[in-house]
Amino acid sequence: MTAPTDRKPNTAVIMRGRGVSLMVVEVFHADLVALEQELQEKLTVAPAFFRNAPVLMDFEHLEDAIDLKWFNDAYDMLYMHSFIPVGVVAPPDYLKQAIAKQQIAVWPSAETARKGNQSVSSRHEDSVAEQQEADTEERTVPEDQQDESGATATSAGQTVCGELVDEPQAQPTMLVLQPVRSGQKVYAKGGDLIIMAAVSTGAEVMADGHIHVYGTLRGRAFAGAQGDESARIFCKDLQADLISVAGTYLINDDLPQKFRGASVQVYLREEQLIINPL
């Protein structure tokens, strides 16, 4: 592995900020039986996708009162179902200190984070305005140059330049422009997933709707994750370890030889997966 170019000689560790995607389990009611039942339903649809997935428990919209015992039981439940909880979002104020004492990371609510970002942004804008008043030369950056400088559209739940991006009210399609690397998991909740690059072995891609891969599809692909039997998988080069539509799946060993490396669509008909060339 190549060492970072900015590492000084004899440096053992470098601290960096890095944006990562985490699955969020939003908790609305304190009924542990119902919570476990719904988790099991999700796992039944795509067990491989959720296995060992890092998750945050989000209590921002919790409607019931909970205590520390309830929290620990819920946290243990995630472990029992092969999730890896890495922290909590917006727990009740009276539990924050007790949770922190258990060495569990506590994130602020999205609203709190948004207000903090707005405050930083406001101070930055004031500074920029003062600089612009002293600058007599007007500069306008063309929109095409703005795009080339790195401005990109984002999907719900992603971060840009360290700031939390608000979840759009209506964003039915997730667009991924970069390759999906081994170990990464991408989930398009409530819509389609379009990947303009390759999906590597060891990666997992999942959508409640269709999946489009305009590159080589390796790894695992789960379309119709919430049971939509009309969902399909489209790919330019089929080499997947596993493909699934609404819970019905095929593994690589069962893929017909004539479709390996081919441009295909995969869909469900009479509880069987059908593969046809594009």
Range 104-114 average pLDDT: 71
Decide which of 2.40.30.10, 3.40.718.10, 2.160.20.70, 3.40.50.300 is the CATH code for 172-277.
2.160.20.70
What is the model's pLDDT at position 252?
87
What is this structure's pTM?
A: 0.47
- Which CATH class for the 23-107 domain? alpha beta
Asked whether 180 and 201 are in contact (CB, 8 A), the reply is no
What is the model's pLDDT at position 48?
67
**Strand residue runs (E) in 181-231:** 185-188, 192-195, 204-207, 211-217, 220-223
Range 174-187 average pLDDT: 90
Task: Say if 23-107 and 172-277 have the same CATH topology.
Answer: no
Domain ranges of the chain: 23-107, 172-277
What is the Cβ-side half-sphere exposure of residue 25, based on CA atoms within 13 angstroms? 25
Asked whether 59 and 91 are in contact (CB, 8 A), the reply is yes
Residues 185-218: pLDDT tens digits? 899 988 999 999 999 988 899 999 999 999 999 9
